[in-house]
Amino acid sequence: MAKAPRLFGTNGIRGVAGKEIDSVIAFRVGSALGTLFPKHRVLIGRDGRLSSRMLLEGVAAGLLARGNHVEDLGLITTPALEFLVRKASSSAGVMVTASHNPPEYNGFKVVDSDGIEIDRAKEEKMELLIHRVQLPATYSPGQRTSREGEIRSYLHEVEKHVVHKDRVRDLKIVIDTGNGVAAQTTPTLLRDLGARVISVNDVIDGDFPGRNSEPRPENLGALSRTVREEKADLGIAHDGDGDRAIFVDERGEVQPGDRTLALIEDELLRTHPGAKVVTPINTSMVVSEVASKRRGKLILTKVGSIEVSRTVVKVSALLGGEENGGIFYAPHHPVRDGTIAAVLVVNAIVETGRSLSKLLDELPKFYMVKEKIPCKEGAKDAAIKALKARLLGRISSSLDGVRVDLEGRGWVLVRASGTEPLLRLYAEAKTEKQVQEILNEFRPLVLAAV
């Protein structure tokens, strides 16, 4: 028998719905989880994709057959489900979502009893249990209850982290939820606080008719335009399951995720000197510069939200963040949460009384280039190994791929993509010219290794 393909990638299980991800897999995920968390209550929820309801039913059936009690949260964001799992004791969770992937995709994020995605060791156990089909041993199926509307208690907790609530009403904010489930969270929260909120693409629709679900600059033209036309203070864009947030300043400029992270870091370290900040190895130097300036302690991890979440917990960090717009705020819950990111940026604006562009312009400036180098799925590890051999003696870190720090100039990182057949090449320097020089030197080495 051929070896079954690995299901878990960088962020849970993902694939094309109906092909790689079908109701049979959903049932097996539910059944495997029930075996891993016997007698636990399991909270399940879904994003707005057309296949999500069908997959949710499969997961529920697998869990119920194992005797687990299932609480169905219905349409919900990933961070809200994760928070609610931690809040309900002795529980686990499954979120049916493919995050920012195209409409035809779907998948599962499996959440441990602490409200964070399961670690790699538990993923391994789940892999085995999913592939080793065992008929449910129980004839006392669990019960299922519907808990739709629980998102309110999540929002209530998020609201506690808003400082100067009275000043939020002075803000005009455009929010583009990209037809995703975050339409239920950030706009509601900010409206309730009295801000003037203008919504873009706020109808939850699994076809994502408004824009590509990934909050990248090329997908956020309508948001930028609306911010400018409405003379708003800022714009916020979320991905399909609401765990990421990208910001647009009052001039309509889309800001890179790591600059927003640095802004939040700067504000938090000002009031929490010596606090720890966790970020993956591909994040801009602006984050390390702010950490040194504010005497914070920066801890680098592999790329992936699970790595950041688990490290935030392990080292008792205050904040975690990723260049893709992921913000992890430990005082709320150490997972990637787009709504808490919105709260922290709004806090920075109202506390300082300055515009978002001013706040961001004050941060040190760097130039980063990211390139994709095609590389077959089975050849990625060998290519990284070959590259390591070529760069021997110059490698600064092998935490995730190969990183070379170039004294006084910048850095370069090559790593295997966890989700696509390609290598990712990152380079960053103080000037555009320097970054091109770095690329000219390292790109041929990567191509040769592939």
Q: Which residues are catalytic?
A: 99
> Between 27 and 105, whose beta carbon lies closer to Mg ion?
105
Residues 303, 387 contacting (CB under 8 angstroms): no
- Tell me which stretch binds Mg ion (CB under 5 A): 154-162, 183-191, 240-248, 300-308: 240-248
- Tell me which stretch binds Mg ion (CB under 5 A): 22-30, 85-93, 242-250, 343-351: 242-250
Residues 198, 175 contacting (CB under 8 angstroms): yes
> Between 170 and 205, whose beta carbon lies closer to Mg ion?
205
In three-state secondary structure terms, 79 is: helix
Amino acid at 249: D
Q: Which one of 239, 266, 267, 400 is in contact with Mg ion (CB under 5 A)?
A: 239
- Tell me which stretch binds Mg ion (CB under 5 A): 131-139, 141-149, 235-243, 299-307: 235-243
Which residue number has the CB closest to Mg ion? 99
- The DSSP letter of residue 94 is E
The nearest distance, CB 419 to Mg ion, in angstroms, is 12
Residue 214 in contact with Mg ion, rule: CB under 5 A = no
The nearest distance, CB 365 to Mg ion, in angstroms, is 28
The nearest distance, CB 235 to Mg ion, in angstroms, is 18
Given CA atoms 272, 276, 279, 285 in this order, what sign does their dihedral have? positive
> Between 109 and 259, whose beta carbon lies closer to Mg ion?
109
Distance CA 98, CA 47 (A): 8
Residue 47 in contact with Mg ion, rule: CB under 5 A = no
Residue 241 in contact with Mg ion, rule: CB under 5 A = yes
Token pair 């009295």 is at which residue? 194
Residue 99 in contact with Mg ion, rule: CB under 5 A = yes
Residue 177 in contact with Mg ion, rule: CB under 5 A = no
Strands (E), 122-185: 144-146, 172-176
Strand 410-416 relative to strand 422-429, pairing: antiparallel
Phi and psi (nearest 5°) for 418?
-80, -15
Nearest-5° angle of CA 57, CA 180, CA 248? 155
Residue 249 in contact with Mg ion, rule: CB under 5 A = no
- Tell me which stretch binds Mg ion (CB under 5 A): 201-209, 241-249, 266-274, 362-370: 241-249
Half-sphere exposure of 386 (CA within 13 A, CB side): 14
Q: Which one of 202, 243, 266, 428 is in contact with Mg ion (CB under 5 A)?
A: 243
The nearest distance, CB 434 to Mg ion, in angstroms, is 33
> Between 12 and 256, whose beta carbon lies closer to Mg ion?
12
Residue 250 in contact with Mg ion, rule: CB under 5 A = no
The nearest distance, CB 241 to Mg ion, in angstroms, is 4
> Between 267 and 323, whose beta carbon lies closer to Mg ion?
323
Given CA atoms 193, 194, 196, 201 in this order, what sign does their dihedral have? positive
Q: Which of 129, 136, 120 is nearest to 4 (CA)?
A: 129
The nearest distance, CB 301 to Mg ion, in angstroms, is 18
Strand 172-176 relative to strand 234-238, pairing: parallel
How many residues in the shown chain lie near Mg ion by CB under 5 A?
Answer: 4
Q: What b-and-e string marks burial along 95-110, b requiring 16 or more CB atoms within 10 Å of the CB?
A: bbbbbbbebbbbbbbb
Amino acid at 392: L
Structure tokens at 224: 């930028």
> Between 239 and 323, whose beta carbon lies closer to Mg ion?
239
Which residues contact Mg ion by CB under 5 A? Answer: 99, 239, 241, 243
